């Protein structure tokens, strides 16, 4: 188990990188977040917790929420899910329309925006109250019943022009009969999930199930089977960092998922989950200092999946 002192050393080592990268200013609510925030938290499968920096401060989890949505869909639909979304890296921008057109409305994977929208379309059909049930899941997994969505962030995304591109993807998939619900309804649910406010500590605890064969930190009932957990971790390793997944695997060596709020979660199966947060992003849209933190973490720990 990494100590608090080790995590503090990591923050000290990467702090000279602060000031590089850019906060996600295309979402007005996120543009107001300080670029100097820096946090890390680690939780083992036995529930041991260590953290440093701004690890207790909630932030907008953004696309990290796609893992929670996919978990719900895998739980409800099983392997039928993969008739509507692929399992391959995209090699393109996370919001590419041309790839979606070329591949007849079937998104490459569930972590690009089109794939996440299909997953949310499935949840809209399968769940009685998708927004409430998604929030209940993250509260259960993290053990924090106070987690909420920041409605200002959700509205900021919904009203911004970036939303039009997501709507275009949904309508394009609808033209290929791969989208069943009202586009606006699904988009609102999707943006609300992206606006969940969680800390590094919340997220490190919440993702223990991916390090523990589908068993969450809180509660005795598995959230996924061991086979599903293995497959989800594989998808994170190949597609969780978009078209920078290869560089992330090379530098960090863990399955991971990023969000434009500056958070990244990562997993060492059988051992631990870790979350880092630093809002300034690199050119690929992933946390610049967060990636460096995780690279330093696996180097100091001497552990990765490789």
Active site residues: 63, 66, 190, 242, 260
User: What is the rounded distance in angstroms from the CA atom of residue 16 to the CA atom of residue 14?
Assistant: 6
From the number of C-beta atoms within 10 Å of its C-beta (0-12, 13-18, 19+), residue 133 rates as: middle
49-53 β-sheet, strand order: 49-53, 39-44, 272-277, 263-268, 256-258
Q: Yes or no: say if 68 and 257 are a contact pair by the CB < 8 Å rule.
A: no
Can you spell out the DSSP letters for 159-182? Answer: HSTHHHHHHHHHHHHHHTT---S-
Q: Which 3 state secondary structure label does DSSP give 76?
A: helix
Q: C-alpha angle with apex 193: 249 to 93, nearest 5 degrees? A: 45
């Amino acid at each position: 188990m990494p100590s608090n002192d080790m995590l503090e050393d990591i923050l000290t080592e990467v702090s000279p990188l602060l000031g590089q990268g850019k906060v996600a200013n295309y979402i007005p609510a996120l543009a107001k977040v300080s670029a100097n925030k820096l946090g890390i938290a680690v939780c083992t499968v036995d529930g041991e917790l260590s953290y440093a920096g701004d690890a207790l401060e909630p932030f907008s989890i953004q696309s990290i929420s796609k893992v929670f949505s996919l978990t719900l869909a895998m739980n409800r639909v099983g392997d039928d899910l993969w008739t509507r979304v692929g399992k391959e890296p995209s090699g393109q921008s996370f919001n590419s329309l041309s790839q979606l057109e070329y591949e007849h409305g079937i998104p490459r994977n569930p972590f690009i925006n089109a794939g996440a929208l299909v997953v949310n379309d499935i949840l809209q059909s399968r769940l009685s109250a998708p927004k409430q049930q998604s929030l209940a899941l993250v509260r259960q997994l993290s053990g924090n019943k106070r987690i909420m969505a920041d409605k200002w962030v959700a509205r900021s995304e919904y009203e911004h022009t970036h939303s039009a591109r997501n709507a275009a993807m949904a309508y394009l998939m609808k033209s290929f009969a791969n989208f069943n619900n009202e586009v606006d309804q699904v988009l609102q649910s999707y943006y609300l999930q992206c606006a969940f406010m969680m800390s590094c500590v919340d997220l490190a605890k919440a993702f223990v199930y991916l390090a523990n064969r589908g068993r969450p930190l809180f509660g005795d009932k598995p959230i996924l089977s061991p086979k599903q957990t293995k497959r989800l971790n594989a998808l994170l390793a190949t597609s969780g960092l978009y078209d920078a997944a290869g560089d992330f695997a090379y530098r960090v060596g863990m399955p991971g998922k990023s969000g434009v709020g500056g958070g990244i979660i990562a997993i060492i199966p059988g051992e631990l989950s870790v979350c880092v947060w630093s809002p300034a992003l690199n050119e690929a849209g992933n946390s610049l200092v967060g990636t460096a933190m995780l690279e330093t973490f696996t180097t100091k720990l001497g552990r990765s999946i490789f």
